[in-house]
Amino acid sequence: MLVRNLKKAGDYERAILSQDENLRMAIANDRAIALARSQAAQGMVPPITTQQLRSKEEELTDAVAINSKTRDNLLTLYKPDIVASFMEGMSQDDKVYLNVYWNDLKEVLKTKTGLTKRYFDRILAKHIQGVIDSRGMSTVPSSGTRNASLNEPAELTRLTLVRDDPVIGKLLVRLRAGGRPADAAKGEAIAAGLEELRKFLPTQQAIQKANALPDAAKQEWFRKVIQNFEGLEPNKDSWNAAAVELRKADVNTKAERLFRPLTENQKRDLQLLYTI
């Protein structure tokens, strides 16, 4: 999902930042709800989010950008009057999902003829539910294709938090803390897998080289890299939730859901991709 229709310097960076925030909202929403419930049960007051601290002007600007992007996407398939009909009553969340997963959704919509507003809404709702059920980085059932949800340069860059963010170091300490022998052994194994995975995440230098490739080659590079990290949780809150668990067994349980250890084939694939 490459950002196009750039008209002046800075458009690319601004578009990437906007898409990144939209994606974060889309794939983290259900996880954030689960985290909030867990914290509430433990008597923890959730911190104010960056989104909550934003000014009304910033929120309005984002809303306009999201609305415009939704219209532009739909106009690639339908006439303006049909687009206006489809967008009538569409929620902001639905627009975000449509924009983030447009590549998948477009393939579904292209197969439908004489689509009415009612059936368009049904298709969109089914696709959104498929995304929620697949938890971000896995198959989107309604699309019939297998695509990584995180498929833009800025989105991949954000995954480098697994290497660089202090919360990962805190989680590794908790994984290697004491506890019962069985829990300690499991925690050590999870920590070893996480540390190895961190070593194979793309560096900023590799991402910059990929950004210089022609569009088709660039999209394919990011697709292949991200496919190898399928199952890697991009939401920092989920990592923090694992690191602050009180019981060692719960730390292990939450941590092992945040990533999949790399296979030998994946390691070889990544090493080849980084030689561009």
- Which tens digits make up the pLDDT trace of 63-84? 777 888 899 999 999 999 999 9
Same domain (yes/no): 104, 158: no
Task: Let me know if residue 4 belongs to a domain.
Answer: no
The pair of structure tokens assigned to 270 is 């990544």
pLDDT band at 243 (very low <50, low <70, confident <90, very high): very high
The radius of gyration computed from the CA coordinates of the chain, to the nearest angstrom, equals 20
Task: Let me know if residue 201 belongs to a domain.
Answer: yes
Same domain (yes/no): 98, 217: no
State the average pLDDT over residues 211-221: 83
d(CA 220, CA 143): 19
- Residue pLDDT, tens place only, 175-190: 999 889 999 999 999 9
Same domain (yes/no): 118, 181: no
- Residue pLDDT, tens place only, 139-155: 333 333 333 333 455 55
Dihedral (CA of 113, 118, 120, 123) sign:
negative
Same domain (yes/no): 17, 132: yes
- pTM of the predicted structure, to 2 decimals: 0.47
Q: At which of 143, 177, 211 does a domain end?
A: 143
More reliable by pLDDT, 56 or 86: 86
Same domain (yes/no): 100, 122: yes
Same domain (yes/no): 129, 250: no
Q: At which of 81, 110, 143 does a domain end?
A: 143
Q: At which of 87, 108, 143 does a domain end?
A: 143
Residue 27 confidence (pLDDT) above 60: no
Same domain (yes/no): 159, 262: yes
Helix (H, G, I), strand (E, B) or coil at 210: helix
Given this model, what pLDDT does residue 49 score?
54
More reliable by pLDDT, 190 or 231: 190
Same domain (yes/no): 90, 196: no
Task: Let me know if residue 57 belongs to a domain.
Answer: yes
The pair of structure tokens assigned to 18 is 């906007």
Task: Let me know if residue 120 belongs to a domain.
Answer: yes
pLDDT band at 45 (very low <50, low <70, confident <90, very high): low
Task: Let me know if residue 148 belongs to a domain.
Answer: no
Same domain (yes/no): 29, 112: yes
Alpha helices in 49-180 (DSSP H): 50-53, 56-75, 80-87, 92-100, 102-109, 117-134, 153-158, 161-164, 166-175
Domain count along the chain? 2
State the average pLDDT over residues 104-121: 88
Same domain (yes/no): 263, 157: yes
Q: Residue 234's domain spans which residues?
A: 153-273
Same domain (yes/no): 29, 69: yes
Same domain (yes/no): 172, 121: no
Average pLDDT value for the chain: 76
Given this model, what pLDDT does residue 4 score?
45
